Amino acid sequence: MSDKPLTSEIVIEAKGLKKFFGSKSVLKGIDLTVFQSEVVAIIGRSGSGKSTLLRCLNGLEAFQEGSVRINGAELKTNNAQTLRALRQQIGMIFQSFNLFPHLSVGENLMLAPHLVHKKTKNELSTQAINLLKRVGLEEKFHAFPDELSGGQQQRVAIARALAMGPSILLCDEITSALDPELVSEVLQVVESLAQEGMTLLMVTHEMNFAKKVSHRVIFMHEGRVHEEGSSIDLFTNPKTTELKQFLSSI
């Protein structure tokens, strides 16, 4: 767990969030509050709505009912201008990395700050090199994504998200597509971010990691927050039968 004390400042606030795919209800009224520098793990079976919740928080998915506030500003999925502002504060890392295959690692890191923040070439390359150092890949600046291992690609993806200077990072099963021996190098980076005070909201199947790093764990079941609490409470003393079943099945 991070040594930094939590402030009481709310950075993510979702109220009564409901989401349907056609007639299928995926999120059935989610209330979620995340404080600054808090690390929250979301666990649950596939299809429980974990990823959808994450994707609603940065506007990748539209929701039908409820509201989301990021750093106090209301999220409106139909307003490109406010979405653009919001997405500079909230980064996302995907299961499938989604690096831009036609750009080098350095270009992957520099493109968005160049277009959105209008930084100069020098600033951009200095920042990119520093970020690559931070994830241990400074020698890969000129490499292309398909020349990297999965773990390396995911670390570049993290660096790319950090290049926009977000205060919140959403991690959507970021180690699920990795070979087992590559998982720890990515988790180490995430852990160091948590220690530096980044607000992290992560959907994960790495229970040991969730236990070790997160302040709070949320168990989702059938589109609802079924149980939540500190990571110690939730893992050692689950209250609902669904969570007990889930924990025993993994």
Q: Site residues (CB under 8 A) for another protein?
A: 58-60, 80, 84-85, 87-88, 91-92, 94, 96, 98-102, 111-112, 115-116, 144, 157, 160-161, 164
Identify which of residues 84 and 133 has a Cβ nearer to another protein in the complex.
84
For residue 106, give Cα distances in angstroms to 49, 126, 129, 143, 146: 34, 10, 8, 8, 14
- Separation of alpha carbons 36 and 132, rounded Å: 25
CB of 58 to another protein, least distance (A): 6
Identify which of residues 6 and 164 has a Cβ nearer to another protein in the complex.
164
Q: What are phi and psi of 203, to 5 degrees?
A: -85, 125
Q: Which two tokens stand for residue 142?
A: 């000129």
CB of 92 to another protein, least distance (A): 4
- Separation of alpha carbons 212 and 214, rounded Å: 6
Identify which of residues 137 and 171 has a Cβ nearer to another protein in the complex.
171
Q: What are phi and psi of 223, to 5 degrees?
A: 80, 10
- Separation of alpha carbons 169 and 100, rounded Å: 19
CB of 102 to another protein, least distance (A): 5
- Separation of alpha carbons 40 and 6, rounded Å: 12
Q: Which of 159, 161, 153 is nearest to 128 (CA)?
A: 159
Identify which of residues 97 and 219 has a Cβ nearer to another protein in the complex.
97
Identify which of residues 98 and 195 has a Cβ nearer to another protein in the complex.
98
CB of 87 to another protein, least distance (A): 4
| 105-117 helix and 121-134 helix, angle to the nearest 10 degrees | 130
CB of 132 to another protein, least distance (A): 17
- Separation of alpha carbons 237 and 202, rounded Å: 21
Identify which of residues 21 and 100 has a Cβ nearer to another protein in the complex.
100
Which amino acid type is present at position 208?
N
Strands 199-203 and 39-44: parallel
CB of 237 to another protein, least distance (A): 36
CB of 96 to another protein, least distance (A): 5
Identify which of residues 16 and 101 has a Cβ nearer to another protein in the complex.
101
